[in-house]
Structure 1
Amino acid sequence: MRSLALACCVAAFATASLAQDVEVRSGRHDDFIRLIVDLPRRMDLKIEQREDIATVIFPDQQLTFDTDPVFRRIARDRILDVTAGPGKSSLEIRLGCRCEVSSFWHDSSLLVLDVRERSDEVLAADTVTEVEFSEQENDRPIDKPRLKLPRNGSSFAASLANSQLQSASPVETPPIKPVDKPAEDKASPNTEIVSEARERLVQQIGRAASQGLLSPRSALKPTIMTKPEAKETTSGGLSVETPEEPSATQPKSIANLRAQSSIDRDFLDVMNRRIGSMQISSCPGDNRIDVGSWGTDAPFAQQVGSLRVVLTGEFDLLNQDAALRLVKLYLYYGFGAEAEMALAQIEQPSDDLALLQSLAEVMEDGYASTNSALTTHLSCDGNISLWAILAYQSLPTDVPIEIDNALRTFDALPRHLRRHLGPTLSRRFLGAGYQEASDKTLRILKRHEETLTADAELLIAESDLAEGEAKQAVNRMNEVVASNSEHSVDALIGLIDAALEAGQTVSFDHAVLAGAYAQEHRGSPLENKLIRAYLAGLSASGAFDQSYEEYSRLATDLPPEALTDIQSQLLHQLTQRADDVTFLRFALLKHSEHQQKLPGPITNATASRLLDLGFPEAARPFLETDTLGDAGRARRILRASAALAEGRPRQAELDLTGVEGRDADQLRAQARSALGDHHAATVLYSSMGEHDRSLRQAWFAEDWNRLVESEDTAMADIAALVSLSENEPDTTPEIPANPKSERVLAHNRELIQQSLAARDTIDAILQRSPSPDTERP
């Protein structure tokens, strides 16, 4: 009994162990969704489709499907769900549309399933519900419904087309029953339509044949169906199978035609001439670039020493195999320069040497040279995808990238290579816009490492800064700067740039440290960046005297583009942070010339501050050249303001030509007022809703009628008095020679009251509004 139980357990374990894991991935295209089934090999399969469910059946197989990656890249619209069917031998695809599932093999083991919308013709025809093909077939299976053309004994074209469609289908179907010619006295209503279509088809075939677009593919003689025994090889190395010839037993199959358009003919002619020089890029196998297996856990000195012992043999001849293994060992440890030196000793060229050379460049510089042996394999599966990504200095955006394969390969690398390459890989993804892939790379680093490298900490700080977490980013950068590592320089530059971008002050100690690093890295690519950080940091810390003194000392060794950038930073910090005296001193002495190359917003801000301080002539050099965009419009406004401040209203109006907006209209009103056209200024201010200024201009224009209608009672009263005295005639009655005393007293009393009312009105105006003599627009 125990033996029987043990045998059952062993059998169950053996059965379970035979089940093979199969990953199902997905990808979205414009008009279809593609599923990739990563099988261990090609195998027999069958597809059954019933309305909204398509089932892919693998007979007599034990497969475990991993469908988790399916919906990482696609939404649940055309495909609602993908699950493993019962019995570990089928895959069910639940459809959310009126779609059809087609399939074909790629490479040696990838099954491709395309899910696309059915066309109107397919929906109207009878759909083939089962498709069967085996692993021996290399071409895409034809699983679309076959077109059935009516034919009769007098139509050779229709029977020919039917016979060709029948022979091209891999699915066994019953032969099409010929349509008998209807009797003349019982004509079918479709007879004329079928006859017309048949004649049109014959005419088109004849026309194509006469133009050379339709020609026999092989001899028109009946033969027995045979399978090709050998493959023909073209000059370009492409193998072409001889097509099968139809048997004489099939109806109307004695002719075999090939149809092509004139575009196809010319295109194929060019391709045939060039195919001999074409090189088909294939993906290298994982065994050719498995960097993680090129070394062991043994001490480095022991591994290198054992190879160096056998590196040279008798007569000092180089052991090529030992040299190749030494190159791979250096790459395993990330020593790119040493690997390049060892590669230079190998004299036998091969494709593997080109791959190793590119890997050495990646290890040493962080990217490979242009047109390296790695850059053409971005879309390849396997280990090569990771190294192809690292080979680019900046990833292209128009090439599909196998990100998941690259991340799996990166995760499987030895710890020292992950620490070395992880920040570079994350930056490569981030620069190409693959934010999620960059985050995944950082998560892999954090999962495996208790303490991250300074480069990884710097990368996380850059990511935090991009996401708006400035405080966390600054803290991480400060830690990297304090670590005094090789990445402290980059962290210091990033720290100063972040402060400048945010408009914050920079620590004087950080600015001085940047100057020390600039002296240390003289002649390196970092020198100009460090000088910029040094001088801009001094200005942002408030040390303007020292910043301009250092600028005068270092400017002679800087290229023109670096000078322009540094001048812009110095002028910006001076305008934003310096007191008035310091600002005027350095703006007039250090920046009075050569301002046309500086950014428009910065020079505009400097000119605006000079105008506010009452120096329109000093502001004019900053406004001489034109610029584009919003800065260009602002510059024209500033020019007009400077012209008004200089007493040139007509020049101000000329500067405002074509400029619209409230600020431009205010300057135009001031220019009109300065020219004495107070009526125009009144209208302009009134259109902008500035009633106080409009009333003042109406006062200057003596427009009493407008002032009488004003809501300001004091202004209306004085306007009414003036208007009454100017427009009404003198109606004061003449006083008789001997008037009575009562009439004289009443008249004088009335004059006194009018005088008191006018005096009260003038006092109210003086109290509520400033005098026109003290404020002129």
Structure 2
Amino acid sequence: MNMRVWSLLLLAFSSPALGQEINVRSGAHDGFARVVLDTSSARNWRVEDTQDGARVVIAGHSGGFDTNQVFDRIDRTYIRAVQSTNDSIAFEFACNCVAEAFAQGPNMIVVDVTAKPDTREVTEVDSTLSADLRFVGERTLRFASGRTQEEQPVPSRRTLQEQTVALEPVKTDQTIAGGQTLDGDVGETARLQQAQSKIVERISNAATRGLLRPSRSQIELPIASNDPQIDVTIFDSSLAEQTSLTVDTPTGGNVRVSSSSDIPFQNDRALTTSTTLGVRCIDPTLVDINAWAPEHSFASEIADLRAGLFTEFDRLDDEVAKRLVRTYIYFGFGAEARQVLHMGNDLAGANAPLLSMSNILEHGHERDADYFEHFVDCDSDIALWAVLAVDRLDPSQTINVNAALRALTGLPVHLRSFVAAELSRKLLEYGDEAAASAALRSVERTAEPLSANANLAKANIELAQGQTDLAQERLVQVVSSNAEQSAEALVKFVETQLEANGEIGADVATLVEAYALEMRDDPLGADLRRAHALALAKSNQFEEAFSTLDQIRERANADNDDELRGSLLELLSKNADDVVFLNISFDQTAVSPESIPMSTRMKIAKRLNALGFARQAEQVVSAGALSPETSEQKILRAELSMALSRPYEAIAHLHGVSGEAADALRAKARLAADEFEEASRIYSEIGDAENRTRSAWLSENWVSMIEETAEGFGPVSQIAQETLDTSADAQGMLARAAAAIAESESTRDTLADFLKSDALEP
């Protein structure tokens, strides 16, 4: 690679926001509904209260909002309807709600709609219905009937499974220890049924919104063996001396009496903390990589384990295979670990966490993502691998960032570099810029240099923070490293140079073409082909750029690529010479001009109009269905109407448009329509004295409208207002004749000076 390429790559840029339609997504949460706006810049916006809700206004945005998926994941409990304009989106509340909005990173605006707190006093009935259920008894379940709500201990946070077990129906014919019968209180039974109905309703709503999905594989989730996090006082005091919650299986017969103290699914362990969705967090020791550190070197450890992989009967030793997989994962060999897991018929299924970790190390994420994805907000090392398992985090979901960062810092240094880069990328896309930076700092503190993957992640953070010079230098380093991430860094470089309106040379376009050819069947191949077309256009190779666009269409079996086509046409209208611009623009706008973004069509139309092709420019702007026009579109339409000698049409286009540019064009249209006095008045309002005088000169009342101080026109107006003294009281006939001759000479000189001046030049 010669120095010319890298000198071009080191150019700095500043990234302007481009107007485009904002995608609107939503997520259902406990007690509120969340709406996420994916903006190009979340720095200039405000929230306004409306009569029936709230409105978010984004200054400078004109592309509108895509609200088609707003109610895919939420119901209308909090938000009844959503309406949008070019620069704002309004939410109509379905309750006595309040909206709270905040920026999540540089590219997202989050709006949470929640019900206002109910300030009414809680009645005695409400207190009864909301009282905590208390479990007593040795082997059966009943409610404490003689205690008030204040006397009952508040239980700690329970898991979804524990709550489900606690709410089993009560049968009034059961007995408790000591031969006493269960008090079958009808009111308490009704409350129990009400709680059951509420749980069923919540689960049904969650399934309807897509928050609950069926598992695609049968996975048994092991439960951690740490201290129980349930309130053990819910059991009767007669169990105080009992050291285990497990009931021994009777030996005399096949009858076994069980109660709520028998916890299902591995009774010898206590339930761990659950996630916000009620899913039990799995045992963090399953991902404790530090515990898998080998005693010997990598080569020695792998050789010993592979030697004992099969028994004397050529059967796979599952325990040795499991140790071998963990060793491979410890050293970061995901593909090799996957290969060993698939050597046994049920080895991969029995070790789902290891299989997921192998996929993450090999691909950067779990392609199926059906094991770890539910544990992103667990308060343990599981959170790290759960975040890594998902290819792209949903901004509407809750993740435990602190737990993931803690787990990252505990990894071996040789693994931390790769994992930190992937975690930083996902957190930056999620919108947590601070956490993304913290993930990379855990690597920067080590003595090892940053890998290409970490440098690319660092460049993305620097771009998000506006440190464009540092980001460009880092992208150059990644490209020159010839690493796996070089192609992705090159695509990022081309995109950022386009946004910054920086220069891209022909050598850079050739380099992108080489990568695109080499990786034509790679998932990144499509991005490289697109970057190649853009680099060609940016280096003023427009014919080659549109030829590449045709090849992209043929490869993708698509008739059009509107976004890429619009970007190429925008570069064409800005940088191409007149002949090339006319040849290509006429061909491109002849087919489906309505599919070209309006902002690009306006640039094409302005240049066509400047070159004298007003009619063709009007056809480009008018293509497609009619939609509400912006002020800029109306002004352009008025300019085209004036170029086509249709002043009254131009005046109609400018109706309701304000501003100096619109007023100047409106005055010009009035002047072309022979409405001279109105044109003079408008010019006077905008402070254009020269055109005001010119317009007044053409009117019938020019004598009174032109000021005496006006250059060129003023003396003529003054002469026109003077009258010759012809009274008999004058000094006599000869004196009056001499005065008339002198006045005539003065008038002739004034008119001669006026005709010689620049006042009449257009």
Q: TM-score, normalised by structure 2?
A: 0.63
On the 8 A contact 2:321/2:341 being kept in 1, the answer is yes
Equivalent position SS for 1:642: helix
Change (3 A) 1:167 1:762: closer
Q: Greater RCO between the two (CA within 8 Å, min separation 6)?
A: 2
1:266 to 185, 194, 197: 194
User: What's 1:750 paired with?
Assistant: 739
Of residues 298-307 and 420-429 in structure 1, the stretch that sits farther from structure 2 once superposed is 298-307
Matches within 5 A, 1:154-553: 164-165=147-148, 168=151, 265-269=193-197, 271=199, 281-296=279-294, 298-348=296-346, 353-369=351-367, 372-552=370-550
On the 8 A contact 1:572/1:602 being kept in 2, the answer is yes
On the 8 A contact 2:375/2:383 being kept in 1, the answer is yes
Of residues 555-564 and 505-514 in structure 1, the stretch that sits farther from structure 2 once superposed is 555-564
On the 8 A contact 2:392/2:426 being kept in 1, the answer is yes
Give the distance between the partners of 1:525 and 1:318, measured in 2 at CA. Answer: 36
Give the distance between the partners of 1:754 and 1:510, measured in 2 at CA. Answer: 77
Equivalent position SS for 1:448: coil
Give the distance between the partners of 1:561 and 1:617, measured in 2 at CA. Answer: 27
Displacement of 1:339 in angstroms is 3.0
Change (3 A) 1:351 1:327: same
Give the distance between the partners of 2:406 and 2:392, measured in 1 at CA. Answer: 21
User: What's 1:148 paired with?
Assistant: none
Change (3 A) 1:257 1:628: farther
Displacement of 1:508 in angstroms is 2.0
Change (3 A) 1:261 1:400: farther
Equivalent position SS for 2:147: helix
User: What's 2:593 paired with?
Assistant: 595
Change (3 A) 1:679 1:166: closer
User: What's 1:194 paired with?
Assistant: none
Matches within 5 A, 1:531-610: 531-552=529-550, 555-558=553-556, 560=558, 563-610=561-608
Change (3 A) 1:170 1:607: closer
* CA offset digits 1:582-634 (Å, max 9, x no partner): 43343334555433222222221222222223331332233123699998432
* CA offset digits 1:116-161 (Å, max 9, x no partner): x9x9999xxxxxxxxxxxxxxx999xxxxxxxxxxxxxxxxxxxx9
User: What's 1:182 paired with?
Assistant: none
Task: Could you tell me which runs of 5 or more consecutive residues in structure 1 were left unpaired when the two chains were aligned.
Answer: 1-28, 31-116, 123-137, 141-160, 172-232, 247-253
On the 8 A contact 2:423/2:436 being kept in 1, the answer is yes
Equivalent position SS for 1:596: helix
On the 8 A contact 2:167/2:192 being kept in 1, the answer is no
Displacement of 1:759 in angstroms is 2.6
The alignment status of 1:759 with 2:748, answered yes or no, reads yes
Count of equivalent residues? 549
Change (3 A) 1:349 1:483: closer
RMSD: 4.4
* CA offset digits 1:300-321 (Å, max 9, x no partner): 3433333333333354333232
On the 8 A contact 1:458/1:476 being kept in 2, the answer is yes
Change (3 A) 1:349 1:489: closer
Give the distance between the partners of 1:388 and 1:409, measured in 2 at CA. Answer: 11
Displacement of 1:332 in angstroms is 2.4
| Code of the aligned partner of 2:314 | D
| Code of the aligned partner of 2:151 | A
User: What's 2:50 paired with?
Assistant: none
Give the distance between the partners of 1:504 and 1:762, measured in 2 at CA. Answer: 56
On the 8 A contact 2:436/2:461 being kept in 1, the answer is no
| Code of the aligned partner of 2:659 | G
Give the distance between the partners of 1:162 and 1:423, measured in 2 at CA. Answer: 57
On the 8 A contact 1:600/1:627 being kept in 2, the answer is no
Give the distance between the partners of 1:716 and 1:616, measured in 2 at CA. Answer: 38
Give the distance between the partners of 1:618 and 1:285, measured in 2 at CA. Answer: 69
Give the distance between the partners of 1:515 and 1:234, measured in 2 at CA. Answer: 59
Equivalent position SS for 1:168: coil
Give the distance between the partners of 1:376 and 1:575, measured in 2 at CA. Answer: 49
Of residues 267-276 and 508-517 in structure 1, the stretch that sits farther from structure 2 once superposed is 267-276
On the 8 A contact 1:236/1:275 being kept in 2, the answer is no
On the 8 A contact 1:295/1:329 being kept in 2, the answer is yes
On the 8 A contact 1:669/1:685 being kept in 2, the answer is yes
| Code of the aligned partner of 2:598 | G
On the 8 A contact 2:369/2:389 being kept in 1, the answer is no
When Rg is computed on C-alpha atoms for both structures, the one with the higher figure is 1
Equivalent position SS for 2:592: coil
On the 8 A contact 1:379/1:399 being kept in 2, the answer is no
Equivalent position SS for 2:310: coil
Task: Could you tell me which runs of 5 or more consecutive residues in structure 2 were left unpaired when the two chains were aligned.
Answer: 1-29, 32-116, 123-132, 136-143, 155-160, 177-181, 205-213, 215-263, 266-277
User: What's 2:683 paired with?
Assistant: 685
Displacement of 1:545 in angstroms is 4.6
* CA offset digits 1:49-85 (Å, max 9, x no partner): xxxxxxxxxxxxxxxxxxxxxxxxxxxxxxxxxxxxx
Equivalent position SS for 1:576: helix
Displacement of 1:501 in angstroms is 0.7
Displacement of 1:502 in angstroms is 0.4
Q: Identity over the aligned pairs, expressed in percent? A: 29
| Code of the aligned partner of 1:266 | Q
